[in-house]
Structure 1
Amino acid sequence: MKKAKKVVSLLLIFTLTVGATLMTGCEKKESDPAKSIVVTVNDQNVYLNEVMYYISAVESTGAQYDAAYQQYTGASYWDQKDPNDPKSLSMREQAKNYVLDTAELYEILYDKAVKGKYTLTDDEKTQAGTNADQILNQMSKDQLKVTGFTKDVLVKVQEKLTLSGKYYKDLVDSFDIDDDGIKASIKRDDYKQYKTEYLFVPTTKYDENYKSVDLSADEKAAAKTAITAALDKVKAGEEFSKIKEADDKLTSSTLDFVVDDGSAEKEYQEAAMKLDKGAYTTDIIETATGYYIIKMVDNNSSDAYDKEVSTAISKAEDDAFKAEYEKMKKDYKITVNNKVWDPIVIGNITIPKAETTGNAANDTSSAGNTTDTTTSGDSTTDNTSTENATTGE
C-alpha cells in the first residue's frame, strides 16, 4: 500500500498557544501536577502535568465551539448530549474519555517505539525544545503552577508524540490496505464537483433572535437594482472582484458543491449546472436568501472525489489500526488513579473561569498523589479515538 499521508499527531501539530487563555490563579489546596499520577501503563506513570497538555489542546478547541454555541443558544457546548439518546455522554464527558484514551495510547505507542529502537533526529529534538520554549514564553508563573508545565515536561511530551508518530506510521504502512480497490469502489460521477464563483445581494437578514427575516420592499428593490447593475458590468467583461469593490451591497465569494449535497440552494445549483466552464448566468438568479450572478469555474472538478477516496483509505487504515491496538493493549496493565482523575471536569481547567461554567480549580483541589485506582488487564475504556489522536489529514 502507499505511504500513510501526513501521519502526525493532531496534538503535536496543534501548537499549544494557550497563552492568555489559561487560568491566572490556583487554589491553595490544589496538589502538585508533577506528583499526581493519573494513569499507570505497566510500570510507567503518567502524571497530571503531562495529561494537562492533552487537556489544554482539547479545551482550547472546545472553547471556540463553546463561545459560538453560547452566542446562538445561550447554553454550554460542553453540556450538550445527544437529544435522541438519554444515556449519551455530554461533550465534556466525551472529551474527558478522549484525553485519558489519548494519554494511554501514546504511552503504549511510545513503549513500542522505544522497544523497537526508534530514535529522534537532532532536528526533531531541537524542534521539541523550540516548541516547549514557545509555550513557556506565553505563560505566567500562576499558569505554570496550574498546569505543572516545565520545559522538561513539555519536551518530554513533544518527543513522545514524535517518536510515537514514527512507530504509528510504520505500523500503518505495514497493513495490507487495498488502496486501488477502495478507489475503484467509489464512483467518480457520484462526487462530480462544481466549483463556482458568485456575486450576491441578500434579500433577508437576521433579527435579534438570529431568525432569518425578509428585507422590506424598498430594501429588496435596492438589492435588485444593485445586482442588475452588477450584471451589466459582468456582461461588459468586468471581473467579479472589481465589481464587488465598487458597491458595498455586493458580496463576492466561491461555492463548491456536489449535486444535492446541501451546499447550494436549489435555484443556485440548477442554474450553475447549466453553465459551461468559464460561463456565467446571463440572468439574475433569485433564491430564498437573495440575488445571484454565478460564474462556473470548473464543472468537472475531482476534488470531492479525491477527498472521498482519501477519507475511505484513511478509514480503512484507522480501522486496521484500532484492531491492532486492541491486541496491543492486552499486553499492558492500565491502572487509573481515580482520586486524581475522577474530580477532573473538562472544559474549565485551563481557561479563565469567566469564560466557562463550573469551577475546575475546586474540582481538582482533591487531586493528590493517592492510590485509589481502577485496574484493567487491557484498558479502562473502549472508545479510544485513534483517528484524531494519531493521524492528520
Structure 2
Amino acid sequence: MKFKKFAAVILMSVMIGSMSLSGCGINKNATAVTMTGDAIDTIEVDMGYANFAARIQQASYDGIFASYYGEDYWTNESYAKNGKNMQDSIKDSVMENIETQCLLEAHMDDYGVEITDDEKAAMKEAAEKFMSDNTKSALKEVGATEEYVERYLYLQTVQQKMSTAIRATADTEVSDEEAAQRTFSYVKISLTTYTDDSGNQQTYTEDQVTVVKKDAYDAAEKAKTDFDGTASDYGYTVQTYSYGSDEKSESDGGFCDAVITAANSMKEGDVSDLIEGTDCYYIIRLDSEFDSDATEKKKQSIISDRQDEAYNNAVESYKKDIDINVNDKEWSKVVFDNLFTTPSASDSSSATAE
C-alpha cells in the first residue's frame, strides 16, 4: 500500500545509544492537554501519547545532530534560542502540533475528509512492524505501544489530508500583472575581500582597492558592448536575478536598492553604468522586461503562499475560541536525557532478533 512508504518515513527504527536509562516516571494515564470549546467536544490527550510523540521527534533529531553537536545538545545553553534550549523548543513544537492535529480531526466533516479502512489497516500493519523491529528497551524508552503508534500515524494522515483539503480552497487565479518579473544579469565587485588561489578569504589593502576600483570603472565601460565577455576578461562571476513589484527593500532582505532602481529605468539589453552598493560595485544588464518563465514561477509561489495562508488561517480560527490547558507539571517530566541512534543493517538484524 502507498501508506506503508509514508509510515516508514514517519517511524524510523530506533535503538538506545550508550546512555543509561533514566526511568523518568511518566504517568501515561495523566492528562497532558485538554481542549474545550463550544464548537468541539472536549478533547483530552494523555501523557503516554504526548511523551511518545515527543520522543519520536527526539529520535529523528538525534540521528542527525548528536554526532555533530555532542550528547548534551538538547540542554546545552550554547544552542538556546529566545531563552529556550533545544529540548524545550522542540517540546513546545510537539505540543502545538498535537493540539493542531486534534483540532483538525475535530473538523474533518467540514471538508468531507475521511480515513479509509484500507488506510487504517495499513496503519495497523505499520504499527505492528514498528513494535517488532525495535528492542524492548528502545520501545520502553520511547514510550511506544501499538495503540500510540497507530494513533500517531492516524493524526499524521488527518493533518496531511486536511491540509490538502483546506489548501484547495485558496484562489489559484493570478494575473500576469500581479506576478510580472523582470530579470537582469549582474556582476558584484567586492571592495573589501577576495578569494586567493588557495580558496581562502583575504582582505584587500588600500592599494589593492584602488586597483579594483579602476578595473571596475574600466569594465563598466567595456561591458556596454560585451557584458559577458568583459566579465570573463576581468574574472567576474555573472549571476541572474528576477524581481517584481513586491520586491523587498534591501534592509528587509531584498536586492540592493540602487540596483533595482537602475533596473527599473532600463530597457531589455541595456547595460548600466557602475552602480555603488554597500562595500561593492555592481554592473547589470537587463535581460527581460517581462520574463515569462520567472513570472510563471512567481505565480506558483503566490498560489503556494495563498494556500499556506488558507491553512494557517483555518488552524488559527479553530484555536481562537478554544481553551487549551497543558498540564505543565506532567509535561515537564518529558526529558531528552537519553540519545537514540538509527541502527545499521547488521544492527537491525540483531535488534530484531533480540
With the length of structure 1 as denominator, give the TM-score of the two structures. Answer: 0.52
Residues 336-375 of structure 1 aligned to structure 2 (within 5 Å): 336-344=326-334
- Find the counterpart in structure 2 of residue 384 from structure 1: none
Contact 1:203 1:291 in 2 (8 A): yes
1:326 and 1:194 map into 2 onto residues whose CA distance is 41
Quick check: 1:255 aligned with 2:241?
Answer: yes
TM-aligned CA distance change 1:36 to 1:350, over 3 Å:
farther
- Find the counterpart in structure 2 of residue 165 from structure 1: 160
- Find the counterpart in structure 1 of residue 350 from structure 2: none
Contact 1:96 1:345 in 2 (8 A): no
TM-aligned CA distance change 1:60 to 1:120, over 3 Å:
farther
Quick check: 1:105 aligned with 2:100?
Answer: yes
Give the aligned CA root-mean-square deviation in angstroms: 5.8
Quick check: 1:195 aligned with 2:183?
Answer: yes
2:335 and 2:257 map into 1 onto residues whose CA distance is 44
Contact 1:26 1:146 in 2 (8 A): no
- Find the counterpart in structure 2 of residue 356 from structure 1: none
TM-aligned CA distance change 1:112 to 1:54, over 3 Å:
farther
2:16 and 2:236 map into 1 onto residues whose CA distance is 43
Structure 2 portions without partners, runs of 5+: 1-5, 35-42, 71-76, 195-201, 342-354
Task: Tell me by how many angstroms 1:202 deviates.
Answer: 1.1
Report sequence identity in percent: 16
Q: Secondary structure at the residue paired with 2:238?
A: strand
- Find the counterpart in structure 2 of residue 319 from structure 1: 313
2:164 and 2:259 map into 1 onto residues whose CA distance is 43
1:172 and 1:61 map into 2 onto residues whose CA distance is 31
1:226 and 1:151 map into 2 onto residues whose CA distance is 70
Task: Tell me by how many angstroms 1:203 deviates.
Answer: 0.9
Contact 1:194 1:256 in 2 (8 A): yes
Structure 1 portions without partners, runs of 5+: 1-11, 68-74, 82-88, 207-212, 353-393
Contact 1:195 1:256 in 2 (8 A): yes
Task: Tell me by how many angstroms 1:49 deviates.
Answer: 1.9
- Find the counterpart in structure 2 of residue 235 from structure 1: 225
Task: Tell me by how many angstroms 1:313 deviates.
Answer: 5.9
Q: Secondary structure at the residue paired with 2:255?
A: coil
Structure with max Cα Rg: 2
Q: What amino acid sits opposite 1:163 in the alignment?
A: V
Q: Which moved further from structure 2: 96-105 or 230-239? A: 230-239
Q: Secondary structure at the residue paired with 2:289?
A: strand
Q: Which moved further from structure 2: 267-276 or 37-46? A: 37-46
Contact 1:128 1:158 in 2 (8 A): no
Contact 1:201 1:292 in 2 (8 A): yes
TM-aligned CA distance change 1:321 to 1:106, over 3 Å:
closer
| 1:183-210: CA deviation from partner (whole Å, max 9, x where unpaired) | 79xx957x7644333222211249xxxx
- Find the counterpart in structure 1 of residue 208 from structure 2: 219
- Find the counterpart in structure 2 of residue 287 from structure 1: 277
1:232 and 1:18 map into 2 onto residues whose CA distance is 59
Q: 1:51 aligns with which of 25, 49, 54?
A: 54
Task: Tell me by how many angstroms 1:166 deviates.
Answer: 1.8
Q: What amino acid sits opposite 1:250 in the alignment?
A: Y
| 1:313-332: CA deviation from partner (whole Å, max 9, x where unpaired) | 643553244224556x57xx
Task: Tell me by how many angstroms 1:223 deviates.
Answer: 3.2
1:267 and 1:202 map into 2 onto residues whose CA distance is 16
Q: Secondary structure at the residue paired with 1:28?
A: coil
